[in-house]
Amino acid sequence: MQDQGLIIINKDLGISSFAVVARLRKILRLKRIGHAGTLDPFATGVLPVAIGRATGAIQFMQDYDKTYAVLASLGTRTDSGDREGQVLAQIPPEDLALAFEDLKAGGLANILKAHQGLLDQVPPMYSALKYQGRPLYAYAREGQEVERASRQIQVQIEDWDLLDRSQLPSFALQHRELLPPDLSPSATHFFYARLKVSKGTYIRSWIDDLGEDLGLHAYCEGLCRVQCGPFNLDRAPTTEELFDLWRSCGQDVQATSDQMRALGLLRPLAAGFPDWPQKSLNFDQALALTQGKTLEISREELATCLGWSVHELGPLPDPNFSARVVLTYRDQMLAMAQVLAGPQDYYLKSIRVFASHEDLSIT
């Protein structure tokens, strides 16, 4: 199971998530590479990338909660909700300055209460969400607007602040990733926030909605994903840093891969699921699983796996019971499995296996 794993990238400014995958293909010479949780080109931060058989686990990583740091420019609204869009509306500088002072005096706190917790959000037109097989941004670029259903999201505001342009130098000491190199000269007043959000949340839409409620307009000037599930920016290289490593290894794929593992940059797949129920398999069980067979699991084993007492499972298998479990072999993630109830006991049925039976003999 050596041709699989996770690379947590600190996505560079100005490139797409797809471009990150293309760059890694060049370095690692692998076709099977994919990412979890798309980041817009103007955004930076944590982008989990799976390689080899681990790409099959991306579907289980899409529900990660995420944390973002965002810098919003006040006073202007754009069609995309970010600095790259066309300006739709602006308020006069003198009105913005007066309103900003009111916000600093305490006017913002109450409005923020209405923008956290369980919210309804309409996905923006400038998004990769598909309608009739095409991403919404394709319609937006053609000047078309399509109907989008609202969705429920969860937002927790962990930190926030207001600052004017004179405060940006000190702000940049801690949040350089939020300041684009070509900051608009017309941007003078800003709102900073750190947000923990659920799957499917669009930060640009959240900022746009907040700006409209403030009566000031707002758009994303800078956006950085600082947490994605169990991963943060710690030891997360940019693709340029990986290219430097690749060059230092003489552009040798195996040497680069070995060095990435040694440095902790190529992580085991199990690192993506640290809080999931786990069960370790012996060789015979692992082999049976890779051959498509189901595995019996006793009530005692299942209770231990779930962290329950055996009494919580009841005296007989519950036909409605279902749970997902990470199966490991020799401390490596072998499969994602579903626990189902049988007539007399429970059993494990694989959802996705990340190794073949040939892999087991060389692990």
Active site residues: 40
Which run of H or E residues covers position 334? strand 332-341
- Return the structure tokens found at 336: 């994602």
Helix (H, G, I), strand (E, B) or coil at 112: helix
Residue tagged 């080109």 (tokens): 41
Q: Report which residue type is found at 48.
A: P
Strands (E) located in the chain: 5-11, 33-35, 43-51, 66-74, 76-78, 87-90, 117-121, 130-131, 134-135, 151-164, 189-197, 218-228, 231-232, 266-267, 278-280, 295-297, 323-329, 332-341, 346-353
Residue 79 DSSP one-character state: S
Rounded-to-integer distance, Cα 345 and Cα 347, Å: 7
Contact between 33 and 168 (Cβ < 8 Å): no
- Looking at residue 140, its amino acid is A
Residue 162, phi-psi category: left (phi > 0), alpha (psi -120 to 50), beta (remainder):
beta
How far is it, in rounded angstroms, from Cα 92 to Cα 216?
Answer: 10
- Two structure tokens written together for 30: 């692998």
